[in-house]
Amino acid sequence: MGSGEAKTRIAQGVDARAGELDRLALEIHAHPELAFEERYASDALCAYLEREQAMVRRHAGGLETAFVAEAGNGGDLVAILGEYDALPGLGHGCGHNLIGAAAVGAFLAARDALDGTRGRVRLIGCPAEESGNGKVRLLKAGVFAEVDAALMFHPGDRDEIDPMMLALATLEVTFVGKAAHAAAEPYEGVNALDGLLLGWSAMSALRLLVRSDSRAHGIITDGGKAPNIIPDRAAARLMVRSPDESYLAELRKRVLACFEGAALATGCELRHEWSDLCDLVKTNRPLADAFAQNAQSLGRTLHPRRPSDTHGSTDMGNVTTALPGIHPYLAICEEPVPSHSVAFAAAAKTPSALATMRLAAKALAMTAFDVLADPAMAKRAKEAHDGRRS
């Protein structure tokens, strides 16, 4: 089968499943679930795959809500990645309901178009992108073994081929003090909340001196139990981000020093833990060019990133450190809408969003076919990845 014929078949395969893919995206949107709790979404996606005669392995990598399906024989192996977790209080304010459905549609369409083409396509259902670094756990568990290229898309408010996704480290800080009656004997206590707030103020002052492309932000997760008790415990969760991984390492030390100094000043004990380490997304140019050409053939023009734009962080960065990959954005709305907002959650269930999801499924499947049908492309992707890493 020639490339043009295969891509026509891919588009037809997605169109034939449009009703089911739309249903999945809308049902997952209506049942938002947080990291590692995506049981409804995972079950819905797996059940549909099984109805499509796909061999599904649930609980992939030892994660309850992860899954894998694979098709094809020999040759190169392309992974198509799905996400389906939601945000606390916002539901699908990042549009992961669309990512999961698009990945399933892309996998099935690519599977059906292989038809004698040597190569394999693997669908990887990835939980806990918003918190928990599910892909990092799957990498460590070997779920990405033998993968030559990893493909996914993300909903946005602009068509962008190489979005800036920052490197990230999450910091949990806990101040431990001593409880006392806040009115009768406050001098007998050690105020953990004062220690935390002093560190927070130091971090806020530091932000004036931080590079404009880097970030430090967070929330207080525990501020004490009652106003008439000197708090003996206070805690916060912080995120430190930068497009420069060496600068991120320096910034991590400076942010932590804010809280170390505050603990010393207030007589508190400081406990801290770094987690959810996300690498910078490293867009693979051969794969990105192929995706952009396929999207163009479907009527969408992808643009390079704008110098001032950032799009948060993702554990897809860790995948692109390990192997060639792409993480393009496709707009689901005509006007700019900030992600991680109520407005974006509303946009993620509109007809425009569903149409973009189906187009993404086609472009992903077509790009997977490009890699499998042309071994030289997989080689170029690997050379670009290895060259950037070195």
pTM metric for this prediction: 0.94
Contact criterion met (CB below 8 Å) for 180 and 227? no
Render pLDDT for 338-360 as a digit per residue (tens, 0 to 9).
999 999 999 999 999 999 999 99
Cα 101 from Cα 65, distance rounded (Å): 15
How high is the pLDDT of residue 311?
82
How high is the pLDDT of residue 1?
59
How high is the pLDDT of residue 378?
92
Contacts with 193 (C-beta within 8 Å, 6 or more apart), sequence order? 175, 223, 224, 231, 234
| Dihedral sign (CA 370, 77, 295, 28) | positive
Cα 311 from Cα 156, distance rounded (Å): 9
Cα 142 from Cα 144, distance rounded (Å): 5
How high is the pLDDT of residue 13?
98
Cα 358 from Cα 351, distance rounded (Å): 11
Domains of the chain with bracketed CATH: 3-165+281-389 (3.40.630.10), 167-278 (3.30.70.360)
Cα 147 from Cα 157, distance rounded (Å): 30
How high is the pLDDT of residue 265?
98
How high is the pLDDT of residue 312?
92
Regions of the chain where pLDDT drops below 50: none
Contact criterion met (CB below 8 Å) for 239 and 215? yes
How high is the pLDDT of residue 126?
98
